[in-house]
Structure 1
Amino acid sequence: MTFLQSINNNDHSNSSSDELIIANRKFSSRLMTGTGKYPSISLMKECIEASQCQIVTVAVRRVQSEAPGHKGLAESIDWTKIWMLPNTAGCKTSDEAVRVARLGREMAKLLGQENNNFVKLEVIPDPKYLLPDPIETLNAAIQLVKEGFAVLPYINADPILAKRLEEVGCVTLMPLGSPIGSGQGIRNQANISIIIAEANIPVIIDAGIGSPSDASQAMEMGADAVLVNSAIALSQNPLYMAKAMGLATRAGRLAYLGGRMPIKHYAEASSPLTHTITST
């Protein structure tokens, strides 16, 4: 089956000609989703299915502490079909993040993913704007890479930090489009474009996406994937929004691969002007 046939059939499993590869693991979907803020675990599960995502992030500390909305969450998902991305949400220092990452790896093993060494690295000491700490993030990344983790760091849209994280061995870069949960869309387009242009590892836009058009924009810019949580969970109809996010991510990726037409400062007719009927 060709790539275009797989698109027409809405079959991700056969679209192998354009796979997302992270730490040598292949994914046909370029949408990642979160598990927080849903009114129920059952709705969260339905939205994961509707979105057709293959990677789902789980907040290790909230699951371990059975925080509201997280009790039984990890056990409710079919991890034979979904790849778990444990995250270090709630950590304020590099030391905390490293400890929670180790717990996340053990949690993945207990749930059947023995070879899962992925971790979404979040180090956020700022309670108001929830901006990641660049120094602590880099320190934690260095240690986690040494311990054999596949590190996916959440960062500000800082091209210099992004390059440093790539150099120390991170497997992706995850710059924020705008503050977490704000739904402001992509407000850091210039810097994100630099990160995408200079990176030799996948770039995943994380945080701030509020609508399918934001997801499509990120993909059209050349991002390798997007991570969406609040925009789905807090929408008026999460199932519709989950489906829309999945479609928008695919559409944006296809648009990027297709290559948009050049922008011109003048008009140009779509039809040729030769052999037209003229009055005499």
Structure 2
Amino acid sequence: MTIDNTPDADDAFTLAGVVLRSRFLLGTAGYPSPQVLGRAIEASGAQVVTLGLKRELAGGGDAHAGFVEIVRDAVRTRGAHLLPNTAGCRSAREAVTLAHMARELMGTHWIKLEVVGDEHTLQPDPFELVAAAGELVREGFEVFPYCTDDLVTCQRLLDAGCRILMPWGAPIGSGQGLLNPWALRTLRARLPEATLIVDAGLGAPSHAAQAMELGFDAVLLNSAVAQAVDPVRMARAFGHAIEAGRLGRRAGLIAAQDMAVASTPVGGRPFEL
């Protein structure tokens, strides 16, 4: 079973100039086998898949080749778009160099820009990130920067020429969900023209639905699917949750209140039978 994420006519998702049916971006690391990865991509309905260039360059053996071939097969046969990433980079210079390698090897100017500043939390380094983003934008890349939910950092990335921002929900792989909904809600309100994609830290489909209910444009995740007991079923669950969250946002969520409000108005005389 696959997810039908066909958008309404007035709700098409355009990402970096490409119209997509799905708002689910899926990572490809850590799956138990290439076959499971392939089925998870299909079940998710995702049309954008990420691939770590450092992992590909360092990889070896039949298993690694199988993972890479599954990703490329999704690009060829399912109309998916490849989003290479600079995971593991610790400086702007390293990330820029790796981005150029990705463009040459993978034939895409899309790059998920990651520059880690702290080894414990894997929190992005805002200074190196902005520096790398500005340089890559000038060199013709479509930069997808992985960042925190800090408003000023996000504004600086937009000033550097980024059109897409990927703030974390929580530290990578932590599964904690949206640790600071207020900050994410503020980003959506203050940056209405930017494409905002929650990336990292989600552990359950309900977390993805919550992100979409906040008005985010899409969700990117990896560990919650790859490390699930049943990755294929989990990929399907996230696909449904993302669609449900988006539909809920568009339908109009009722405001939360501190008091009970009767769903059935009561007034006047009792009914006479």
Q: Give the TM-score normalised by the residue count of structure 2.
A: 0.91
Shift of 1:223: 0.7
The alpha carbon displacement at 1:74 in A equals 2.6
Paired AA for residue 37 in structure 1: G
Match of 1:76 among 70, 78, 83: 70
User: How far apart are residue 267 of structure 1 and its match?
Assistant: 2.6
Aligned to 2:144: 152
Is 1:269 matched with 2:267? no
Shift of 1:156: 1.2
SS of match in other structure, 2:28: coil
Give RMSD over aligned pairs.
Answer: 2.0
Residues 50/92 of structure 1: CA separation in 2 closer, same or farther (3 Å cut): same
Q: How many residues align?
A: 266
Cα distance per residue 1:131-150 (max 9 Å; x no partner):
11110000000100010000
Q: Provide the rounded CA distance (Å) in 2 between the counterparts of 1:259 and 1:170.
A: 29
Match of 1:179 in 2: 171
Shift of 1:35: 0.4
Q: 1:60 to 1:129 in 2, by over 3 A?
A: same
Q: Is the 8 A contact 2:3 2:239 kept in 1?
A: no
Residue 120 of structure 1: aligned partner? 112
1:38 aligns with 2:36: no
Maintained 8 Å contact 2:7/2:13: no
5+ residue gaps, structure 2, are none
Question: Which of the numbers 42, 53, 58 marks the counterpart of 1:49?
Answer: 42
SS in 1 for 2:124: coil
Distance 1:148 1:265, change over 3 A: same
> Which residue, out of 112, 131, 137, partners 2:123?
131
* 1:269 shift after superposition: 2.4
From 216, 220, 237, the equivalent of 1:223 is: 216
Q: Distance in 2 between matches of 1:148 and 1:91?
A: 20
TM-score by length of 1: 0.89
1:28 Cα offset (Å)? 1.7
- Post-superposition CA distance 1:163-186 (Å, at most 9, x none): 111111112111111110000110
Unmatched segments (≥5 aa) in structure 1: 1-8, 110-115
Paired position in structure 1 for 2:92: 94
Once the two structures are superposed, residues 170-207 of structure 1 have per-residue CA deviations (whole angstroms, 9 ceiling, x without a partner) of 12111111110000110021211111112221111011
Letter in 2 for 1:193: R
Q: Which residue of 1 aligns with 2:203?
A: 210
Letter in 2 for 1:71: A
Establish whether residue 188 from structure 1 lines up as the match of residue 186 from structure 2: no
Give, in angstroms, the shift of residue 258 of structure 1.
1.1
Residue 242 in structure 1 maps to residue 235 in structure 2: yes
Instruction: Provide the identity percentage.
Output: 41
Partners of 1:84 and 1:15 in 2: CA distance: 24
* AA at the equivalent of 1:76: I
Q: Residues of 2 paired with 1:205 and 1:118: CA distance?
A: 17
